Amino acid sequence: MQLTISLSQGLRHYWSYVTGFGYNARLFLWSSLLSGVTFAISGLLLNFYLVSLGYRQDFLGLMASLTQLTTLIASLPAAMLSDAIGRKAALVWGAIITALAVLGLVVFTSTEGLIAMGVLYGIGTAIPIVVAAPFMMENSRPDERTHLFSISFALQSAAGFAGGLMGGNLPEWLGGLFNVSARDARAYQAALVVAAVVAAATLVPLARLRSDPTAVRRTIRRPLTGVRAEGRLLFKLLFPNLLISLGAGLLIPFANVFLRELYGVSDSEVGGLFSLAALVAGVAIALGPVLAQRFGKIRAVVGAQALSVPCLLIMGFSPIFPLAFVAYLFRTALMQMSGPIFNAYSMEVVQDETRATVSSLTSMVWTLGWVVSPIVSGQMQVRYGWLPIIIMMAALYVAGIGLTHIYFGRSSVRVYAPEPP
């Protein structure tokens, strides 16, 4: 009963926090929604578009890996850029680069041109990923910070759902408009132009952001200086995240194949499951601050991630698809909910001049897991099937969750949480 009352009070407070976000925070959320739609449309249609141009699956894989590697490599320079020119200017440049990259995919259809645009797209992706966390940290009060992080992530999830629906229907709508097949390259090109327009529209809220006053007095240090100064803390923040990323990379990129092969579901059923998972995850992310406020950030993160492990095991070992279906929804929601809470915590426990570097390193560590693990997983799938992958993923999750609890659940870490200027 007491827990129910506390959660009810938390939900009432939640709405007051959301409506009380500052001017910059509200504009940033609008930009997050638009950029999320852009990435969802382009991410869904890119492979289909490349196939329509006559490229084979090996080139599709090259483009995907190249984009991820570019994002990984560009993360640290993106952090340095945002420190040098300010968060607003960096976000504006990120939106411009993304819009040009998506439009360039339509204009440059040669192998070299597509690869160049894939690299540019990776750079455009890296900038908002890296800059978002320090920007939200610097434009929120300590009491509303977790809510802002969670709402931003929830909007990204909602944008993924909306963008996925739009991307799935745009080729058919635009193909009919131009009197071509929905699978014709021209239909996909028209759809990507729409994605580029949405990316350009992100500049409207970003341009209205008030200039970052902290950029004037922010002490710029070389990235490795900050790493050396807070090396032990950064290791504790990053290493558990790396373990969880390595675990996720074993299965999540292949989740559609996993569900189809293990349970015999159709492609349309898998698509419906993914869309529903995005909606459930969005709700869970939005509710994350209530749990963080009730139990504390680290307890909420560790608890949510720990509960996802039994769901993962049910996915792999249950002979009944409906049970695996529910387990997949809960695993996705619990892991997605923990992300923004821990990101907010990590921004609070590092100093101002180190935040962009920490944000970039977090992005790099997560991307590294998704670059390495799929290669290992592909070999294991061929030789041993899915169950060893599930067991290895669960073991990596448990190790990462346990270390997070050991590092932060039992000790007091200094919090740097200044009021925004």
- pLDDT tens-digit series, residues 354-364: 777 777 788 77
Mean pLDDT of the region 164-192: 81
Mean pLDDT of the region 321-329: 89
Please give the helix or strand (H or E) that residue 151 lies within, else none: helix 145-177
Q: Say if 21-206 and 223-415 have the same CATH topology.
A: yes
* Cα 47 to Cα 38: distance, rounded to the nearest angstrom: 15
Helix axes 255-263, 321-348, angle to 10 degrees: 160
Asked if pLDDT for residue 240 goes beyond 90, the answer is yes
Asked if pLDDT for residue 284 goes beyond 50, the answer is yes
Output 226 or 89, whichever has higher pLDDT: 89
Q: pLDDT band at residue 17, thresholds of 50, 70 and 90?
A: low
Q: How far is CA 274 from CA 165, 267, 376, in A?
A: 11, 11, 24
* Cα 289 to Cα 173: distance, rounded to the nearest angstrom: 39
Place of tokens 């939900």: 11
Q: What's the DSSP call for residue 354? A: G
Cα dihedral 282, 93, 86, 132, rounded to 10, equals 10
The type of residue at 174 is: L
* Cα 103 to Cα 101: distance, rounded to the nearest angstrom: 5
pLDDT at 283: 82
* Cα 57 to Cα 346: distance, rounded to the nearest angstrom: 39
Asked if pLDDT for residue 262 goes beyond 70, the answer is yes
* Cα 20 to Cα 15: distance, rounded to the nearest angstrom: 8
Q: pLDDT band at residue 203, thresholds of 50, 70 and 90?
A: very high
Output 352 or 148, whichever has higher pLDDT: 148
Token pair of 399, please?
A: 């190790």
Token pair of 123, please?
A: 């750079």
- Select, from the ranges 97-111, 127-141, 270-284, the one with the highest average predicted confidence (pLDDT): 97-111
pLDDT at 391: 93
Output 388 or 286, whichever has higher pLDDT: 388
Residue 53, C-beta contacts closer than 8 angstroms, at least 6 positions apart: 109, 185
At the second CATH level, the architecture of 223-415 is Up-down Bundle (1.20)
Mean pLDDT of the region 249-269: 73
The type of residue at 355 is: R
Q: Residue 32 in contact with residue 95, Cβ under 8 Å?
A: no
Asked if pLDDT for residue 3 goes beyond 60, the answer is no
* Cα 206 to Cα 91: distance, rounded to the nearest angstrom: 7
Mean pLDDT of the region 335-339: 88
Q: pLDDT band at residue 215, thresholds of 50, 70 and 90?
A: very low
* Cα 387 to Cα 259: distance, rounded to the nearest angstrom: 13
Token pair of 259, please?
A: 């569900």
Please give the helix or strand (H or E) that residue 36 lies within, else none: helix 23-52
Asked if pLDDT for residue 414 goes beyond 60, the answer is no
Q: How far is CA 220 from CA 79, 120, 351, in A?
A: 11, 26, 12
Q: What sign has the CA pseudo-torsion 157, 162, 163, 167?
A: positive
Token pair of 421, please?
A: 């200027």
Place of tokens 């180190």: 354
Output 149 or 99, whichever has higher pLDDT: 99
Q: Residue 195 in contact with residue 41, Cβ under 8 Å?
A: yes
* Cα 87 to Cα 215: distance, rounded to the nearest angstrom: 8
pLDDT at 302: 93
Report pLDDT digits (tens) over 389-413.
999 999 999 999 999 999 888 655 5
Phi, psi of 55, deg, nearest 5: -85, 150
Write down the mean pLDDT value for the chain: 80
Does the domain at residues 21-206 carry the CATH identifier 1.10.645.10?
no
Q: Residue 204 in contact with residue 334, Cβ under 8 Å?
A: no
- Least confident stretch, 256-265, 364-373, 390-399: 256-265
Q: Residue 285 in contact with residue 157, Cβ under 8 Å?
A: yes
Every domain of the chain and the residues it spans: 21-206, 223-415
The type of residue at 276 is: L
Asked if pLDDT for residue 417 goes beyond 60, the answer is no
* Cα 58 to Cα 311: distance, rounded to the nearest angstrom: 33
